[in-house]
Amino acid sequence: MGKHFLLLLLGFSMSIGFLQALFCYRCDLLNAFGVCLSGRGYCVASQQEDCILKEYYQAGRLVFGYQNCRYICNNMTFFRGTFQMDVKCCRHHDFCNRF
């Protein structure tokens, strides 16, 4: 009986590592100084989600940002005239989308 319980406990503890949640910062509007003006909190990313940080620049100066959990997330940079948007995705540790 003791061996079966220990094996069950070992299997359960190993599965917990695969089920651990990823926590991400959430902010709908970050100002240029990194202060969250709207929607401050955190989100819990699912297995298929990453943490995301978007940064918006005008003429090379940071204007505002955004943080959240995102289902389909790819690192990329967009340019349009003097406007630039950087998208940074991560899942290597909790709150990795820090501004």
Give the model confidence (pLDDT) of 32-81 as tens digits: 999 999 999 999 999 999 999 999 999 999 999 999 999 999 999 999 99
> Which residues make beta-bridge pairs with 61?
58
Q: What phi and psi, each to the nearest 5 degrees, are found at residue 82?
A: -90, 5
- The structure's pTM equals 0.77
Type of residue at 36: C
Distance CA(69)–CA(26), nearest Å, equals 7
Is 51 inside a domain boundary? yes
Which residue range forms the structural domain that includes residue 69?
21-90
Number of structural domains in the chain = 1
Is 69 inside a domain boundary? yes
* pLDDT given for residue 19 in this prediction: 57
Given a cut of 70, whether residue 1 has pLDDT beyond it is no
Is 10 inside a domain boundary? no
Which of 5-14, 23-32, 53-62 is predicted least confidently?
Answer: 5-14
Domain at 47, CATH number: 2.10.60
* pLDDT given for residue 20 in this prediction: 80
Is 98 inside a domain boundary? no
Is 14 inside a domain boundary? no
Given a cut of 80, whether residue 15 has pLDDT beyond it is no
Distance CA(91)–CA(79), nearest Å, equals 25
